[in-house]
Chain A
């Protein structure tokens, strides 16, 4: 059952990711991304990371994707047109990506040959309590520094979006 669940949602994630790249219309791409995010959150849940699964669902599939779709609709972006300027990249892109993926999966299967199959409920420690504990003790400084990162992003957005100074 666990293996079935894993296989199904892993396939959904992969198909969604490929469709995200292949789709011509931005809205279709955005909706493909939603399916990737939902599938990923199920995978996190299978690993016992309940909190991350919930956050993934709420933050990515919920807030961020809604924003994406809003912006796409406000900008009234149409289907993309292909540019023929890519040149060498056009022929090399796909084979090189395939080579990277094959290499990565080879390395992982080689080095983790004795890894066990996913079993729902076998892992614990991913609840909000544990995550919160770690976040506010061991990783307190990164947590605080993230707020600077967000402040920089906000200030940057304001700079790029403000009216011209005259």
Chain B
């Protein structure tokens, strides 16, 4: 065959444009970092990286306007991919906005930070749009390796280093499971392309036990990445130890990308196995919600509490995945987008309140925040109310659509226990709000002004939470339209 048949065309490039912009931007940043010298202020590099992410966001509709597979079936540009590209880029944008002032405060402003965020976003974009297990693996590893380093970016911080090491060791172990699953599925079907695997399995000639074992191995790897119980032990330690903007990044961005690939693999390749893995996902979803919510009740550290809450929210999304339906997929997409908004808003506030060296991260430190910094406290309250799932916030509609999908698919027990869980969750979110509003401030010292980047992030997330809380259709219609995969 003529090798010219494999040359990438311009359409191929357009379908891959967001990731291309991110990687080129990352390499440019690497050169700029070397050119700016050692003792200059590096926050200008932060602004460059924000520009790169914005450019990538504009490239997402361009990729969506050219739907289809590219690079010989490696990448697929569809609405589902565009949705998750947008969510991860939004989380990345928030992270960069909050990081410039944070890094200056911690005296660790350097170009590598922004570089790693950009590459991690590129990896997440590849995950969201890959149509091939090899690409999934590469995207997963690019996103993960950047995350490991970002978690331990502040090297003088012992907890950060511990978090990075723990994340690295357990993450590599989980990736090994995923990779072993890929090798099994290749052994059975002779294919790594997601649609080719589905076609091979649809014929039904392959040994079912081996296919199920392969799916189970891949499930373990992916469940780790989305921090589903019982593979969640790393999450609280990592979210507590990592720098606050990165904790927000890790709990929203890579997790959304991991869910994207989770849903894509199990609804295209393993579509024919859905009745077999449904009970497993059922147990996984329930365990994740219970472990997350009930452990969060006892936390006094806000970052750790949000870490457990992020596990619980992964449980809600797993409820939607369990339904194995288009409505469930749309619910999961909507929930992940809304979770990105409300969770990052909360972490942005913590980034500022924590202060230098992140010393003030306990609930006691939030006491009396409302009288000292009323605007910050109000915006944080909006995020926490949305995480609780109060009506008029996006968190309410997110949970509503997930449990509606679950009830439509006769998962009554799972819905009932899930709703019970979200009632329990109200306790630990409201505890933070009551600390802010019901107590006198501990100290009388004048609070530091909130940096512009953090303010912008919080206003954006609060505006998004309230707008989508009143008009959920803005995002939900899109999610409903693109929740179907090419069958």
Contacts and interface: CB of A to CB of B under 8 A. Distances in A.
Nearest to B71: A141
B23 A107 contact: no
A145 B155 contact: no
B356 to A, nearest CB: 15
A145 B123 CA distance: 9
Interface string A109-126: 011100000000000000
A152 B142 contact: yes
Contact of A164 (B6, B16, B156): B156
A88 interface: no
Interface string B130-169: 0010110011011001101100110110000000100000
**Prevailing SS type, chain B contact patch:** helix
Which of A111, A112, A156 has the most CB atoms of chain B within a 10 A radius of its CB? A156
Interface residues of B, number: 47
Contacts of A165: 107-110
Interface stretch (B206-214, B322-330, B332-340, B398-406): B206-214
Interface stretch (B112-120, B438-446, B473-481): B112-120
Interface string B191-224: 0000000000000001101100100000000000
B260 to A, nearest CB: 17
> On chain A, which size bracket covers the interface?
20 to 34
Contacts of B135: 141-142, 145
B8 interface: yes
Interface in A116-158: 133, 136-142, 145-146, 148-149, 151-153, 155-156, 158
B207 A138 contact: no
Contact of B207 (A112, A137, A151): A112
B112 A158 contact: yes
Nearest to A159: B112
A146 B330 CA distance: 32
Nearest to B149: A156
B209 A110 contact: yes
Contacts of A138: 6, 72
A155 to B, nearest CB: 6
B207 A110 contact: yes
A21 interface: no
Contacts of A136: 3, 6
Contacts of A133: 3
A115 to B, nearest CB: 11
Nearest to A136: B3
A140 B123 CA distance: 17
Contacts of B188: 111
Contact of A149 (B110, B112, B115, B141): B141
B393 to A, nearest CB: 36
A158 B116 CA distance: 11
Interface string B88-121: 0000000000000000000111101101100100
B370 interface: no
A80 to B, nearest CB: 16
A94 interface: no
Given A152-B119, A153-B145, A156-B146, A142 B138 contact: yes
Contacts of A146: 138
Contacts of B16: 141
B153 A159 contact: yes
A166 interface: yes
A67 interface: no
A2 B142 CA distance: 40
A7 B35 CA distance: 57
B145 A140 contact: no
A89 interface: no
B209 A152 contact: no
B116 A152 contact: yes
Contact of B155 (A140, A155, A160): A160
A112 B187 CA distance: 10
Contacts of A145: 126, 135, 138-139, 142
Contacts of A152: 116, 119, 123, 142, 145-146
Closest 4 A-B residue pairs measured CB to CB? Answer: A111-B207, A156-B149, A141-B71, A137-B6
16 contacts: A103-B213, A111-B188, A111-B209, A140-B72, A142-B74, A142-B135, A148-B122, A148-B123, A149-B141, A149-B142, A152-B116, A152-B146, A156-B145, A160-B149, A160-B164, A165-B109
Interface of B: 1, 3, 5-6, 8, 16, 23, 27, 30, 71-72, 74-75, 107-110, 112-113, 115-116, 119, 122-123, 126, 132, 134-135, 138-139, 141-142, 145-146, 148-149, 152-153, 155-156, 164, 188, 206-207, 209-210, 213
